[in-house]
Amino acid sequence: MTESSVILPLAGGVMIGVAALILLAFNGRVMGVSGIWSGLIRWSDGPGWRLAFVLGSITAPLGLALLGRPGDVQIETTAPMLIVAGLLVGFGSALGAGCTSGHGICGMSRFSPRSIVATLVFMAVAIVTVFLVRHVG
């Protein structure tokens, strides 16, 4: 095991948890990315913290790349497939009243039954999708 296989994911998980805790403690909001984006698009309560969250989400990986620590992201599909996937994720987030970050990180940590079920559904669909894409299609 190397630093990048253990320490960095652990540090990232801790930082996500701390960010979720800070947002809940100081703003009374659950850190669900789909809700943050949709609130920013709808301009529901002004851009403030939502805009800061989105800009931080975009600039943090760019900053790491400038420091010589780029991520190992490899996209092995076409642009149209990415667009379809993004639309499906958006539809699923709206249908499930939240996304994996809202339900999986924040909801499950609060023992929300709805979030536990939603996360189980997310994981089951992900497992089936990977199986179908890799072994059937």
Centre a 10 Å sphere on the Cβ of residue 62 and count the other Cβ atoms it contains: 10
Quote the pLDDT of residue 105. Answer: 85
Quote the pLDDT of residue 113. Answer: 93
The span from the CA of 53 to the CA of 46, in Å, is 13
For the chain, count helices (H), then strands (E). Answer: 6, 0
**Cβ atoms of 44 and 29 closer than 8 Å:** no
The span from the CA of 117 to the CA of 1, in Å, is 33
Confidence of residue 117 (pLDDT cuts 50, 70, 90): very high
The SS3 call for residue 31 is: coil
Residue range 15-52, pLDDT digits in tens: 888 888 888 888 888 888 888 888 887 776 666 888 88
Quote the pLDDT of residue 54. Answer: 86
Contacts of 28 (CB under 8 A, 6+ apart): none
Q: Which helix (H) or strand (E) holds 15?
A: helix 3-27
Quote the pLDDT of residue 41. Answer: 79
- The model carries a pTM of 0.68
Q: How far is CA 135 from the centre of its chain?
A: 26
Quote the pLDDT of residue 131. Answer: 92
* Average pLDDT for the chain: 83
Quote the pLDDT of residue 42. Answer: 76
